[in-house]
Amino acid sequence: MPTDPLPEPADAAERRSAAPVVCYPPESLPAPPMALYAALRAGMTPVERLEIPARDARAFRVPAGHVLRISCIEGPQVGDLNLWNAHDLSERFYSGKTRALHGTHVGTGDRLWSSFPHLRPMATVIADSLGWYGFDADGAGVHDVIGTRCDPYTNARLGGAPFHRCCHSNLIRALVAETGLAPAAAEPLVHDVLNVFMCTGFTRDTHRYFTKASPVRPGDHLDLFAEIDLLCALSACPWGDCTGNSTDQARCHPLGAEIFAPAAAVLDGGALGGWTPPTPAPYDRSHGL
Ligand SMILES: [Zn+2]
């Protein structure tokens, strides 16, 4: 943030000393049923496995009650994830509200919330092999909901060459392939992502967004419980593990996307017996009119 040359007021220190107030205290949200998710994970079985090619994306569907596991399979690699309600693509992942509710980075027990007027959990993080990372000495953490996605427009604005293999365009191509939508109809549906495995933070002095080498290694994974029927698109970012200054030199790897079904015993009167997909936020949309 540029500094303005005007002098500080006499009470500047007093104004700065106001105590921070957490906007959405974690205890104000309904607690996720972690025991249910643990029982689910214990008995789930794989039903589908995809490989997301390096520098490209794939779209796929995850039914409600199933688990999506995103895995590092060959080498450090970050992924850009979009989520939609499989039956209504206007309901999609809302990165900004997820950030406001849970913080700049998500981990086990955090929800991925959908856009207005729905605002419900689309998915819940139920396991994270990088949960040990926490926040490092630079203030960086893993799996951020800060960044947006690499895209051809910012690249062009910064004077770069056409950038078709960016996450924004990768996600569009994947959505077009899965849905048959025209590219012009698909593009507005692509939205700010969950940056899976990406290690990011804000610089201490100017609070600028930074990235550093992802700590992810083959075998690491992030497990998401699908709270509703999901259409997902995942891009294996052309920045690889985000260590370099150019995508040409970035070492890129594929990502794994595996879908697990809960055991029948869990579905039929077991741990998931009383579970139903969350309903939209209970607001009548009258907006004072
Ligand atoms: Zn990217």
Q: Tell me how far the alpha carbon of residue 127 lies from the centroid of ligand 1, in angstroms.
A: 23
Q: How far apart are CA 127 and CA 186, in angstroms?
A: 31
Does the pLDDT of residue 1 top 90, yes or no? no
How many Å separate Cα 51 from the centre of its chain?
18
Ligand 1 geometric centre to CA of 118 (Å): 27
Side chain identity, residue 263? A
Taking Cα atoms as reference points, which of 111, 130, 122, 135 lies closest to residue 70? 130
**Band of residue 273 on the pLDDT scale cut at 50, 70, 90:** low
pLDDT of residue 247: 79
Q: Is the pTM of this model over 0.85?
A: yes
Q: Which two tokens stand for residue 237?
A: 């970012």
Tell how far the Cα of 25 is from the centroid of ligand 1, in angstroms. Answer: 31
- The alpha carbon of 72 and the centre of ligand 1 are apart by a number of angstroms equal to 16
Q: What is the pLDDT of residue 243?
A: 87
What is the CA(30)–ligand 1 centre distance, in A?
33
Lowest mean pLDDT among 13-22, 33-42, 82-91: 33-42
Quote the ligand 1 centre to 247 CA distance (angstroms).
Answer: 9
Question: pLDDT, tens digit, for every residue of 32-64?
Answer: 999 889 988 888 999 999 999 999 999 999 999
Q: How far is the CA of 150 from the centre of ligand 1 (A)?
A: 4
What does the pLDDT look like over 65-85, one tens digit per residue?
999 999 999 999 999 999 999
pLDDT at 267 over 70: no
What is the tens place of the pLDDT at every residue in 252-265?
999 999 999 988 76
Minimal CA–CA distance to 277: which of 114, 82, 116, 144?
114
What was the pLDDT predicted at 244?
Answer: 76
Distance CA 235, CA 115 (A): 21
Residues contacting residue 164 through CB under 8 Å, at least 6 positions apart = 152
Mean pLDDT computed over every residue of the chain: 93
Distance (Å) from CA 248 to ligand 1 centroid: 13
CB 225 within 8 A of CB 69: no
Mean pLDDT of 135-163: 94
Distance between CA atoms of residues 157 and 229, nearest Å = 37
Rounded to the nearest whole angstrom, what is the distance from the C-alpha of residue 264 to the centroid of ligand 1? 38
pLDDT at 281 over 80: yes
CA of 86 to the centre of ligand 1 (A): 23
Phi and psi angles of residue 70, each rounded to the nearest 5 degrees, phi first: -100, 125
- The Å distance, Cα 183 to ligand 1 centre, comes to 19
Q: Grade residue 212 by pLDDT with cuts at 50, 70 and 90.
A: very high
Domain ranges of the chain: 49-267
Q: How far is the CA of 169 from the centre of ligand 1 (A)?
A: 9
